[in-house]
């Protein structure tokens, strides 16, 4: 179905139909997996004009396959955007977008609450090597970002809500402050995905997602996307993706588009389960705070309610002060919650985390141990039973 006609439909219809056309593929419902390095052309002239229609796009495996294009079309349709580019991981998408926009001597503004490797690897290694000055700003800055702009500032990078501590940024206030400055706005939108938040509609230039999480949705593939609303931004991204030789594999793109078909029903269920578990956790004496934007007690609740259409299944918990052994006793006994670094799959997951080690613009004010939970699609009553038994071990170990 063409991208243009998709615009007339509502969200769940778009994710069911965008980026696939059975009539082009023997009636097969899903776009096929094209494994390709070499692409051949019928004539020398066709080969020499392969960057023009009908060949533009699939010229050589590295520049993309029809499977990749089908996935990208579905993602951009969900965002109501112009186009998307896919990458072999979320971090690759972040690194590629930075490298598309910066040069030696530039200055970049980065939210203090970004995903750890955005700070430590993209900023701490790549930007440093390139001689780009990195400044971290308080995620609650809003329109105040304007005061931090310099003549050599090229981009403002947001992540909302922030990693581990889930502060919600006032994205429209930031993009409003950047209007007319020529400074690019970027956001890591992985938590909400295009289903619960569409930053393009708030004027963000580059919307980055680790499709590894909710888009793929089954913890079995690595994938990233960057979505833009102008052909100019698309060409900038694609030029650098081709230069670095970034290539999202066809099997992973296939899993990405297949995951996307059910992202609506999955996210609605993740939200329902997470709200139930987060509300229960908030009532416990062992819990100092639950960091989940959908809870009215959270500082970002009003902005979340204004800008997002829902909340995903990921949140943080700060416990009352306790020795590490108590947290270990609690977590090591979980059976349903796996312990691992990712999230966004159908299953529940948890990990310990240390936001105090990562914040510089606004020091972390938490005192107790912090854990991140991803609430999966299990029955939330079973998860609550498991967490409750975990608190028994926690309490026994801190006596």
Ligand X SMILES: Cc1ncc(COP(=O)(O)O)c(C=O)c1O
Binding site for ligand X (CB under 6 A): 89-91, 115, 163, 188, 190, 210, 212, 222, 224, 342
Q: Check if the beta carbon of residue 197 is closer than 8 Å to that of residue 175.
A: no
Instruction: Identify the active-site residue in 188, 205, 252, 307.
Output: 188
What are the two backbone dihedrals, phi and then psi, of residue 184, each rounded to the nearest 5 degrees? -80, 145
Interhelix angle 263-282/380-398, rounded to 10 degrees, is 40
Catalytic residue, candidates 20, 83, 198, 213: 213
Is position 188 annotated as part of the catalytic site?
yes
Cβ nearer to ligand X, comparing 73 with 190: 190
Provide the minimum distance between the beta carbon of 346 and ligand X in the complex, in angstroms, as a whole number: 16
Of residues 343 and 394, the one with the C-beta less far from ligand X: 343
**Residue closer to ligand X (CB basis): 64 or 162:** 162
Minimum CB separation of residue 89 from ligand X in Å reads: 3
Annotation says 87 is catalytic: no
3 state DSSP class of 121: helix
Cβ of residue 169: shortest distance to ligand X, in angstroms? Answer: 13
Strands 349-353 and 153-159, bridge-based pairing: unpaired
Structure token digits, residue 295: 């809870």
User: Reduced to 3 states, what is the DSSP secondary structure of residue 365?
Assistant: coil
Prior bond to 215 cis, omega within 30? no
Give 141's DSSP letter: -
Return the number of the residue (6 or 94) whose C-beta is nearest ligand X. Answer: 94
**Catalytic entry in 7, 62, 103, 150:** 62
Side-chain-side CA neighbours of 78 within 13 Å: the count stands at: 30
The H or E element containing residue 351 is strand 349-353
| Minimum distance of ligand X from residue 122's CB (angstroms) | 10
**Smallest gap from residue 213 Cβ to ligand X (A):** 7
Q: Which is nearer to ligand X, 44 or 341 (CB)?
A: 341
List the beta bridge partners of residue 225.
86, 209
For the chain, counts of helices (H) and of strands (E): 15, 12
Active site residue 62: yes
For residue 388 the two structure tokens come to 């409750």
Q: Which residues are catalytic?
A: 62, 115, 188, 213
């Amino acid at each position: 179905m063409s991208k243009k006609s998709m615009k007339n439909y509502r969200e769940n219809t778009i994710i069911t139909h965008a980026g696939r056309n059975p009539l082009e593929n023997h009636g097969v419902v899903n776009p096929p997996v094209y494994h390709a390095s070499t692409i051949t052309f019928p004539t020398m002239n066709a080969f020499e004009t392969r960057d023009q229609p009908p060949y533009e796009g699939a010229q050589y495996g590295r520049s993309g396959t029809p499977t990749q294009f089908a996935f990208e079309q579905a993602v951009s349709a969900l965002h109501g955007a112009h186009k998307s580019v896919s990458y072999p991981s979320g971090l690759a998408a972040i690194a590629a977008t930075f490298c598309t926009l910066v040069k030696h001597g530039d200055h970049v503004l980065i939210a203090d609450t970004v995903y750890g490797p955005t700070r430590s690897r993209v900023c701490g290694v790549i930007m440093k090597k390139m001689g780009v000055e990195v400044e971290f700003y308080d995620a609650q800055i809003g329109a105040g970002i304007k005061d931090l702009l310099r003549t050599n500032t090229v981009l403002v990078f947001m992540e909302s809500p922030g990693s581990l501590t889930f502060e919600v940024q006032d994205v429209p206030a930031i993009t409003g402050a950047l209007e007319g400055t020529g400074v690019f706005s970027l956001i890591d939108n992985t938590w909400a995905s295009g289903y619960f938040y569409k930053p393009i509609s708030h004027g963000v230039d580059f919307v980055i997602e680790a499709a590894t999480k909710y888009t793929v949705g089954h913890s079995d593939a690595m994938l990233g996307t960057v979505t833009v609303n102008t052909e100019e931004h698309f060409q900038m991204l694609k030029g650098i993706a081709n230069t670095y030789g970034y290539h999202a594999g066809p099997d992973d793109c296939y899993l990405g588009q297949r995951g996307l078909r059910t992202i609506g029903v999955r996210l609605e269920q993740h939200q329902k389960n997470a709200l139930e578990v987060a509300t229960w956790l908030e009532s416990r004496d062992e819990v100092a705070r639950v960091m989940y934007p959908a809870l009215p007690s959270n500082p970002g609740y009003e902005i979340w309610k204004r800008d997002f259409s829902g909340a995903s299944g990921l949140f943080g918990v700060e416990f009352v002060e306790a020795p590490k052994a108590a947290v270990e006793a609690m977590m090591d006994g979980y059976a349903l919650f796996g312990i691992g670094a990712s999230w966004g799959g159908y299953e529940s997951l948890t990990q310990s985390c240390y936001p105090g080690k990562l914040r510089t613009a606004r020091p972390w004010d938490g005192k107790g141990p912090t854990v991140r939970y991803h609430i999966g699609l299990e029955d939330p009553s079973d998860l609550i039973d498991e967490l409750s038994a975990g608190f028994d071990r926690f309490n026994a170990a801190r006596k």
